[in-house]
Structure 1
């Protein structure tokens, strides 16, 4: 019988990602003494975690936590891995002593065929230059696979890295994603100040995060944060019911807005929303504010900072 793999949210902080990389190195390559290298501010020669395998020799991992948000909801710099990014990181690792047999770039970005091609190209160039070493990339997809394949690693990751102790912790992870999804101009600035297309896209992305736990970057459309499910996975029945009501209100808001656009009550003027019926504008604004109030009510109950 096949097993069901579950999704794991990437660590929120880079220190946690380095800890996870050390844990994966211990489990995947059976290196009991795998450890983090140096400390922040020290020259690390392209290596954050290292250890020596009986079978493969010295292995070094450089950790790059990409395609995610900081605690203020802003995208971290870097984005998906490109050719120069990979090459620069790989070149740094050539100075590491003792010499590496295997160098791994571990990243929270999702698997990308382009990046896999960059790695193949790098390995050919290293071989031509006489470097007896191999490069590979662990995307977040590989990290998820290892977490599902090694139960001790999974338990340790949840308990010690993400620090999930109970069902409430899982609920808070879901609520954090929902809070970030609502913390955007579409729920803050006056309705007439939002461009129509961006406003509709923001509403769609917010509802997606509410229902699935997936939050997309506005520009790249990459998943930048994901919890273990959307509002239906919240264990606290009161919070779950409240978020279900927010989902319903948001659906009604989008439906009323679309109807207004189709019937001409709302016009696109230089792609901005222009309300011919001011009563409709007030109605929609009340619906929008009601969604935020209900979300904030749950956030405060959970001890999470409310949306401003």
Structure 2
């Protein structure tokens, strides 16, 4: 992306913000994070849940706030201390018990909110309650600027506008994202569903061949270009090797599942 520090507008809807929060958490906390529950389910104050590299578990609550129609930078509403206190009350009763509770918001830094959080943490010390953090939009911008794959995933047009776009980086960023799903990070004997595993392999193969990345429900997450269009021949050769490995994994799993060598957990 170069050395230019860019400003990014918050996502227009809460669904995209929740997805962005999950991805930023993976980088910021160096761990594995997933959406908690689905729309319509009681989530007990937690939208995103996971563990960091130090085995500290965190729950994140996403607060997407509105903006003026003329500029995505101007906040119409701000997060309040009452909202924060209500979400903390839910998080304190979350199962499993949280080590850390993070409120992620599209609003910008507010010293009064920061002071409120600090005061709360002081009063909660030694009580076995999760530590409270708040990520304002500036923290998201910092993460997006630091990790170019996030910028390419969510803000391709802004990169093009400021002449920070590189087609190869865009392709490789999408491929990296496609290989970051749990199917590739979880040991095989810990997989809960063989069909889901095979679907993840299939979706990844499609990302390599078409440049389009879908979630498990078939929704298009983002798109780039087919991996075979990378500019360097060495990169294209390595892509062929990876695609071959993915196909071998898919065939091996399918055959052994059909033969009963791999048993489905119930």
Into which bin does the TM-score normalised by the smaller protein fall? 0.5 to 0.7
Supply the distance in 1 between the matched residues of 2:9 and 2:104 (Cα, whole angstroms). Answer: 15
1:58 and 1:102 in contact (8 A); partners too: yes
Residues 127 and 12 (structure 1 numbering): CA distance in 2 closer, same or farther, change over 3 Å? same
Q: Which has the larger radius of gyration?
A: 1
2:33 and 2:49 in contact (8 A); partners too: yes
Asked if 1:62 is matched to 2:61, the reply is yes
Per-residue displacement from partner, 1:256-275 (whole Å, max 9, x unpaired)? xxxxxxxxxxxxxxxxxxxx
**Residue number in structure 2 paired with 1:151:** 148
Supply the distance in 2 between the matched residues of 1:165 and 1:106 (Cα, whole angstroms). Answer: 23
**Residue number in structure 2 paired with 1:13:** 13
Per-residue displacement from partner, 1:56-79 (whole Å, max 9, x unpaired)? 511111000114258xx9x998x2
The 5 A counterparts of 1:295-306 are none
Match of residue 130, structure 2, among 129, 133, 141: 133
Supply the distance in 2 between the matched residues of 1:36 and 1:8 (Cα, whole angstroms). Answer: 23
Supply the distance in 1 between the matched residues of 2:33 and 2:139 (Cα, whole angstroms). Answer: 19
Residues 54 and 167 (structure 1 numbering): CA distance in 2 closer, same or farther, change over 3 Å? closer
**Alignment TM-score, normalising by the size of structure 1:** 0.47
**Residue segments in structure 1 that go unaligned for 5+ positions in a row:** 171-308
1:34 and 1:49 in contact (8 A); partners too: yes
Deviation at 1:84, TM superposition (A): 1.0
Per-residue displacement from partner, 1:202-248 (whole Å, max 9, x unpaired)? xxxxxxxxxxxxxxxxxxxxxxxxxxxxxxxxxxxxxxxxxxxxxxx
Supply the distance in 1 between the matched residues of 2:158 and 2:109 (Cα, whole angstroms). Answer: 29
Per-residue displacement from partner, 1:136-162 (whole Å, max 9, x unpaired)? 110011111111111222222225xxx
Asked if 1:30 is matched to 2:27, the reply is no
Residues 126 and 166 (structure 1 numbering): CA distance in 2 closer, same or farther, change over 3 Å? closer
Higher relative contact order (CA 8 A, sep 6+): 1
Supply the distance in 2 between the matched residues of 1:95 and 1:44 (Cα, whole angstroms). Answer: 11
SS of the residue 1:91 aligns to: helix
Residues 69 and 14 (structure 1 numbering): CA distance in 2 closer, same or farther, change over 3 Å? farther
Deviation at 1:34, TM superposition (A): 1.1
Supply the distance in 2 between the matched residues of 1:166 and 1:24 (Cα, whole angstroms). Answer: 18
Deviation at 1:9, TM superposition (A): 0.8
The 5 A counterparts of 1:1-308 are 3-31=3-31, 33-55=32-54, 57-69=56-68, 79-127=77-125, 130-158=127-155, 164=157
SS of the residue 2:18 aligns to: helix
Supply the distance in 1 between the matched residues of 2:123 and 2:159 (Cα, whole angstroms). Answer: 48
Residues 120 and 165 (structure 1 numbering): CA distance in 2 closer, same or farther, change over 3 Å? closer
CA RMSD of aligned residues (A): 2.9
Structure 1 runs of 4+ aligned residues shifted over 3 Å read 164-168
Q: How many residues align?
A: 159
Residues 166 and 24 (structure 1 numbering): CA distance in 2 closer, same or farther, change over 3 Å? closer
Deviation at 1:166, TM superposition (A): 8.4
